[in-house]
Amino acid sequence: MKFRYHLVILLAFFIVGISRPTQGQKTTVTASAQTPLQRVQAYRKAHETTLMNEYWQFLAIPNVSADSVNIRRNAAFILQMMQQRGIPAQLLDGTRPGITPAVFGEVRVPGATKTLTFYAHYDGQPVNPKQWAEGLEPFKPVFITAPVEQGGTIVTTYKAGEFIDPSWRLAGRGSADDKAGVMTILNAYDALVKSNIKLTANLKFFFEGEEEVGSTHLGDIFQKHQDKLKSDLWIIADGPRHVSGKKLVQFGVRGDVNLYLTVFGPKRPLHSGNYGNWAPNPAQRLVSLLASMKDDEGRVLIEGFYDDVTPLTDREKQAMAAVPNMEAALKKELGIARPDGGGASFMDLMMIPTLNINGLQSANVGAMAGNIIPTKAEAVLDLRMVRGNEVSRQIERVKDHIRSRGYHIIDREPTDAERQQHPKLIMIKAATGYNAQRTSMDLPIAQEVIKAVQTTSADPIVLLPSAGGSLPLYLFEKVLKANVVSVPVVNYDNNQHAENENVKVQYLWEGIDMMAAIMLIR
Amino acid sequence: MKFRYHLVILLAFFIVGISRPTQGQKTTVTASAQTPLQRVQAYRKAHETTLMNEYWQFLAIPNVSADSVNIRRNAAFILQMMQQRGIPAQLLDGTRPGITPAVFGEVRVPGATKTLTFYAHYDGQPVNPKQWAEGLEPFKPVFITAPVEQGGTIVTTYKAGEFIDPSWRLAGRGSADDKAGVMTILNAYDALVKSNIKLTANLKFFFEGEEEVGSTHLGDIFQKHQDKLKSDLWIIADGPRHVSGKKLVQFGVRGDVNLYLTVFGPKRPLHSGNYGNWAPNPAQRLVSLLASMKDDEGRVLIEGFYDDVTPLTDREKQAMAAVPNMEAALKKELGIARPDGGGASFMDLMMIPTLNINGLQSANVGAMAGNIIPTKAEAVLDLRMVRGNEVSRQIERVKDHIRSRGYHIIDREPTDAERQQHPKLIMIKAATGYNAQRTSMDLPIAQEVIKAVQTTSADPIVLLPSAGGSLPLYLFEKVLKANVVSVPVVNYDNNQHAENENVKVQYLWEGIDMMAAIMLIR
């Protein structure tokens, strides 16, 4: 790992040296032989324990979206980080009170012709501490030697200020998704400034606090602060790098919406012997309904589910063809004998909509299970959408399917009269969702980003027309009329959204490199 | 309610007077005008606050089967109850160490020609305190005015020693299932003795501590103590009275076994966007599998599932035909628009085997849900069996069905090699189960029990060839060569096995009547 790291630096030196012949000279004040990237790296190396201590403190602040008190503590911490770096910063609210504010900062550079805005989000997915491995807690970050699922153990010997092995991972909610974005963006800026590298573009920073709950008020914040948020390009630091470990620029994301389903059974839990065969079991009803939605290969059977998909352009298809095929390695790592998709490639499957069961629950399992007919059965569905899909239309298709199975749909607990009237009753609640987004790879500024990220990598970087994951990037197009690309920072095996979330230290350092390189776009 | 109660007493006096003309005179020492039943009731009325206080203390001892320390505290409490009532008592263990003992007592009556053994169990189903209504805790009994599901509230004004409204319910784990059995049996005996009513049969008492975990060691205890446990009839005080509220004698039970299913997905939880459509979702697999097991009417589709059922005799069919039809009332109370069974009657459906989903779980639902592909999905199945079914054969049919759906079955967590090899992997663990049991209604002693219970009721009592519920009664036939009938004590709407379990006070008092009447069989 160490050898490879040095190789990257040497190659980066070579590449930057060729592609930016004048810049090295212009910005060289104290270290004439070094490229900006080398100087950023040197600065980071000299300060990495300080950076890590600050990040550690940041991760220790609980950031579940619904926890409004702690969410604001996170915002305050970021404000402080920005102020310490000399970035004029403020909280941005929306038009309605009580929303989680975004943290915004702006650095104007005399003579700059372009404005770049760097985005990350500081809220995290809900946590169930019981599901985390022993010794790991969502909001008590620790270093681990490797993912716990691969036998990693906690580094108990580490003391603040000591050398941090870049192969370690820092475990905690938000360590990867997406405080890593905040950390690398602000430290990239700081490294540039502290290394006396001349900035060439106006820089803005926007850190959202409601991403994991569907960015409910992002559009509202955008509306209210349209002028302040004007820029030529938004750079999104979120999501994982390519599974191959390669650096990645993404030009789109899937849209996303959650559906919460509850099928109702008897009004009280019934003894499974005394009522078994007679009282309908809501868990049986739910499994039958969910089973009807997909075939054995994972293809969605809901009518019209794939109808609206906009086909990829030729350039997008070419980019897709160049993406390294990681399926064999993934299958092995994840313990998958045969993927879904009936033989379609991993990348092709990311370019079509999904219907995923996020969770299922009815009564209890394991030692807590009783011999009962439960009163209800719940499922949470995740629908990913691609360019061409429209959230409400996609939801309506799912509902139509459910109706076609004989269900009466309500959006709250049923009344007694409804229970008497409808043999099949289901409550469906939809979270706020959003559509997919895709930026053209042909834009000159998109090509600039590709070049900048490539300077930090000896390997060819990966270019993706769309991520599998989601962000409400359609809002950037729709409200701000802005271009947007994603430059993910973290390792793909980060357990984001789940227990034992972690970020590889090396990826944080490389994230600082990438963000710094992009900040120097002219 | 009060009027009806007095009517029952008056009618009972009349019936007892006719059916036992000599007994009233023989046993009348201090109250010549009273029947034994009236004297038992008078004794109970005079002492009911004391009885209730003792029961309250009994319910406060946690009795989840797996909680071995507290289970033994329950056994000790019963021992004490028996000693206070002058019943020589002891713990019965099996041949293996560490099992939960049964509590046994014996009263020999000179000249008695029959020996009756009264059975109840003192362990309870697992509890999830979070699922109980506000103010109710599994092991802090309180009176409630009605079931919480019907708007009942906690009686906060009650003080020990005050009048207890018989329409109240006592809420707590075990209040109905089945400490009520222990309570009514021992207090019936006490009431007979304290009222100076001459006993006519040898009486034995047997209280099991492992019923809710499948009576794992009951056969072992029976084997070891065969001689001690000899008797002409076992009377089982467990399960609910008929849904109509009528008293009930049952001649059989369904057999029962639990299956624990775990379907495996990726080795670590995956982001549903970054892997959606490609990584198989174990929740989707599980719902598909479970859906394949039953049709929309609740009929089990597993091959041969209904093949072994022994048909009912003519007498059993007659008894079934006389059972009050409560379906309309049940549908209304439980909020069921259309029952399962495709039009078959409630009672007929209790006479065939079941396959019930007790619980489902995969990752989280509601606010805890994350956008992930879970690592596993679990279900607990409950199989009820009837006369003719055999536990291992029924389990094998379910497994054959699962295999026919392409699954490789293991009985522990999969190895990496197994994950690589088998696209569909399922772990199945079977709990210890037992077969159904059915006693002939033609036996003279069975007829005696029917007569005795009828003396306590103005309404015709209900006779059932088999309960829908289960007890390991086949062991009584197989190991002890004993006859066995069930005389349930508690209200049917007791939430047994679930949250907010409760027993109606009036049913405890009537349970004492029934047990006392049976103890006087000659």
Q: Mind listing the pLDDT tens digit for each residue in B349-371?
A: 999 999 999 999 999 999 889 99
What is the DSSP-derived secondary structure letter of residue A259? E
Where does a domain end: A410, A430, A450? A430
Q: What is the mean pLDDT of chain A?
A: 92
E strands in B122-224:
142-144, 169-171, 202-208
Strand partners, B90: B104
Number of domain units in chain B:
2
CATH number at residue B392: 3.30.70.360
Question: pTM of the predicted model, to two decimals?
Answer: 0.76
Query: Strand B255-264 to strand B425-430: parallel, antiparallel, or no bridges (unpaired)?
Result: antiparallel
What is the DSSP-derived secondary structure letter of residue A469? S
Residues of chain B contacting A360 with CB distance shorter than 8 Å: 283, 286-287, 360-363, 365, 377
Residue A399 at interface with chain B, using a CB cutoff of 8 Å? no
Where does a domain end: A403, A430, A457? A430
Residues of chain B contacting A124 with CB distance shorter than 8 Å: none
Task: Please indicate, yes or no, if residue A341 is contained in any of the structural domains.
Answer: no
Q: Which helix (H) or strand (E) holds A421?
A: helix A416-421
Tell me which residue in B277, B369, B371 faces A352 most closely, judged by beta carbons: B277
Quick check: A260 and B361 CB within 8 A? Answer: no
Q: What is the mean pLDDT of chain B?
A: 92
What is the DSSP-derived secondary structure letter of residue A343? T
Task: Please indicate, yes or no, if residue A328 is contained in any of the structural domains.
Answer: no
Residue B8's pLDDT band, with cuts at 50, 70 and 90, is very low
Question: Would you say B360 and A361 are in contact if contact means Cβ atoms under 8 Å apart?
Answer: yes
Q: Which amino acid is at B356?
A: N
Residue A22's pLDDT band, with cuts at 50, 70 and 90, is very low
Tell me which residue in B276, B288, B416 faces A354 most closely, judged by beta carbons: B276
Does residue B68 surpass a pLDDT of 70? yes
Does residue A31 surpass a pLDDT of 60? no
Residues of chain A contacting B421 with CB distance shorter than 8 Å: 337
Question: Would you say A482 and A116 are in contact if contact means Cβ atoms under 8 Å apart?
Answer: no
Task: Please indicate, yes or no, if residue A114 is contained in any of the structural domains.
Answer: yes
Which domain range does residue B261 map to?
257-309+352-430
A509, A379: one domain: no
Residue A294 at interface with chain B, using a CB cutoff of 8 Å? yes
Least confident of A65-74, A394-403, B29-38: B29-38
Kindly tell me the burial class for residue B37, based on how many C-beta atoms sit within 10 Å of its own C-beta (0-12, 13-18, 19 or more): buried
Residue B166 at interface with chain A, using a CB cutoff of 8 Å? no
Closest residue on chain B to A124 (Cα): B370
Does residue A7 surpass a pLDDT of 60? no
B249, B294: one domain: no
Does residue B322 surpass a pLDDT of 50? yes
B262, B250: one domain: no
Residues of chain A contacting B372 with CB distance shorter than 8 Å: 358, 497-498
The residue written with tokens 């009325």 in the block is B45
Tell me which residue in B269, B356, B378 faces A373 most closely, judged by beta carbons: B356
Task: Please indicate, yes or no, if residue A475 is contained in any of the structural domains.
Answer: yes
Residue B33's pLDDT band, with cuts at 50, 70 and 90, is low
- Tell me the C-alpha distance between B123 and B68, whole Å: 10
Quick check: B358 and A363 CB within 8 A? Answer: yes
Tell me which residue in A296, A339, A495 faces B278 most closely, judged by beta carbons: A339
Tell me which residue in B126, B346, B469 faces A370 most closely, judged by beta carbons: B126
Tell me which residue in B125, B278, B368 faces A370 most closely, judged by beta carbons: B125
Q: Which amino acid is at B466?
A: S
Q: How much is the pLDDT for B289? A: 98
Q: How much is the pLDDT for B497? A: 83
Q: How much is the pLDDT for A472? A: 84
Quick check: B368 and A128 CB within 8 A? Answer: yes
Question: Could you tell me how many helices (H) and strands (E) chain A has, helices first?
Answer: 15, 20
The full DSSP string for B35-87 is -HHHHHHHHHHHHHHHHHHHHHHHHTS--BTT-HHHHHHHHHHHHHHHHHTT-
Task: Please indicate, yes or no, if residue A21 is contained in any of the structural domains.
Answer: yes
Q: Which amino acid is at B482?
A: A
Least confident of A311-315, B80-84, B397-401, B409-413: A311-315
Residue A184's pLDDT band, with cuts at 50, 70 and 90, is very high
Number of inter-chain CB pairs under 8 A, A vs B: 358
Quick check: A273 and B283 CB within 8 A? Answer: no
Task: Please indicate, yes or no, if residue A331 is contained in any of the structural domains.
Answer: no
Does residue B195 surpass a pLDDT of 70? yes
Task: Please indicate, yes or no, if residue B477 is contained in any of the structural domains.
Answer: yes
Q: Mind listing the pLDDT tens digit for each residue in A108-165?
A: 999 999 999 999 999 999 999 999 999 999 999 999 999 998 899 999 998 888 999 9
A485, A372: one domain: no
Residue B329 at interface with chain A, using a CB cutoff of 8 Å? no
Q: Mind listing the pLDDT tens digit for each residue in A63-80?
A: 998 899 999 999 999 999
Angle between helices A36-59 and A179-194 (to 10 degrees): 140
- Tell me the C-alpha distance between A509 and A507, whole Å: 5
Q: For residues B432-448, give the mean pLDDT.
A: 93
Q: How much is the pLDDT for B315? A: 86
Q: How much is the pLDDT for A33? A: 65
Does residue B17 surpass a pLDDT of 80? no
Residue A414 at interface with chain B, using a CB cutoff of 8 Å? yes
Q: For residues B372-378, give the mean pLDDT.
A: 97
Residue A340 at interface with chain B, using a CB cutoff of 8 Å? yes
A244, A275: one domain: no
- Tell me the C-alpha distance between B502 and B174, whole Å: 8
| Sheet with strand A169-171: strands edge to edge | A142-144, A169-171, A502-504
Quick check: A365 and B349 CB within 8 A? Answer: no
Does residue A30 surpass a pLDDT of 60? no
Q: How much is the pLDDT for B401? A: 98
Q: How far is B350 from chain A (nearest CA, A)?
A: 7
Residue A498 at interface with chain B, using a CB cutoff of 8 Å? yes
In three-state secondary structure terms, A103 is strand
Tell me which residue in B267, B278, B339 faces A346 most closely, judged by beta carbons: B278
Q: What is the ipTM of this complex?
A: 0.77
Residue A301 at interface with chain B, using a CB cutoff of 8 Å? no
Q: For residues B81-96, give the mean pLDDT.
A: 95
Quick check: B125 and A371 CB within 8 A? Answer: yes
B133, B47: one domain: yes
Quick check: A365 and B350 CB within 8 A? Answer: no
B49, B189: one domain: yes
B179, B264: one domain: no
Tell me which residue in A356, A361, A366 faces B272 most closely, judged by beta carbons: A356
Residue A341's pLDDT band, with cuts at 50, 70 and 90, is very high
Q: Mind listing the pLDDT tens digit for each residue in B50-67?
A: 999 999 999 999 999 889
The residue written with tokens 């991520």 in the block is A467
CATH number at residue B199: 3.40.630.10
Closest residue on chain A to B372 (Cα): A358
Mapping DSSP onto H, E and C, the string for A9-66 reads HHHHHHHHHHHCHHHHHHHCCCCCCCCHHHHHHHHHHHHHHHHHHHHHHHHCCCCECC
- Angle value at C-alpha B281, between B278 and B284, nearest 5 degrees: 125
In three-state secondary structure terms, A98 is coil
Residue A68 at interface with chain B, using a CB cutoff of 8 Å? no
Residue B373 at interface with chain A, using a CB cutoff of 8 Å? yes
Residue A281 at interface with chain B, using a CB cutoff of 8 Å? yes
What is the DSSP-derived secondary structure letter of residue A214? T
Q: How much is the pLDDT for A249? A: 97
Distance of CA B398 to CAs A236, B292, B408, B411, Å?
50, 11, 13, 15
Which residue, among A67, A121, A334, A464, would best test binding to B if mutated, counting the most B CBs under 10 Å from its CB?
A: A334
Q: Mind listing the pLDDT tens digit for each residue in A232-259?
A: 999 999 989 998 999 999 999 999 999 9
B420, B466: one domain: no
The residue written with tokens 């776009």 in the block is A521
Question: Would you say B371 and A211 are in contact if contact means Cβ atoms under 8 Å apart?
Answer: no
Task: Please indicate, yes or no, if residue B262 is contained in any of the structural domains.
Answer: yes
Which residue, among A243, A264, A271, would best test binding to B if mutated, counting the most B CBs under 10 Å from its CB?
A: A271
Residue B516's pLDDT band, with cuts at 50, 70 and 90, is very high
Q: How much is the pLDDT for A444? A: 94
Tell me which residue in A253, A277, A367 faces B354 most closely, judged by beta carbons: A277
Does residue A23 surpass a pLDDT of 80? no
Quick check: A272 and B420 CB within 8 A? Answer: no
A206, A305: one domain: no
In three-state secondary structure terms, B227 is coil
A276, A366: one domain: yes
Residue A490 at interface with chain B, using a CB cutoff of 8 Å? no
Residue B32's pLDDT band, with cuts at 50, 70 and 90, is low
Tell me which residue in B334, B362, B380 faces A357 most closely, judged by beta carbons: B362
Where does a domain end: A379, A395, A430? A430
Residue A32's pLDDT band, with cuts at 50, 70 and 90, is low
Q: How far is B425 from chain A (nearest CA, A)?
A: 10
Does residue A26 surpass a pLDDT of 80? no
Q: For residues A47-56, give the mean pLDDT.
A: 96
Quick check: A367 and B276 CB within 8 A? Answer: no
Listed by number, the residues of chain A in 214-253 with a beta carbon closer than 8 Å to a beta carbon of chain B are 239-240, 253
Does residue A6 surpass a pLDDT of 60? no
B249, B268: one domain: no
Q: Mind listing the pLDDT tens digit for each residue in B199-250?
A: 999 999 999 999 998 788 999 999 999 999 999 999 999 989 998 999 999 9
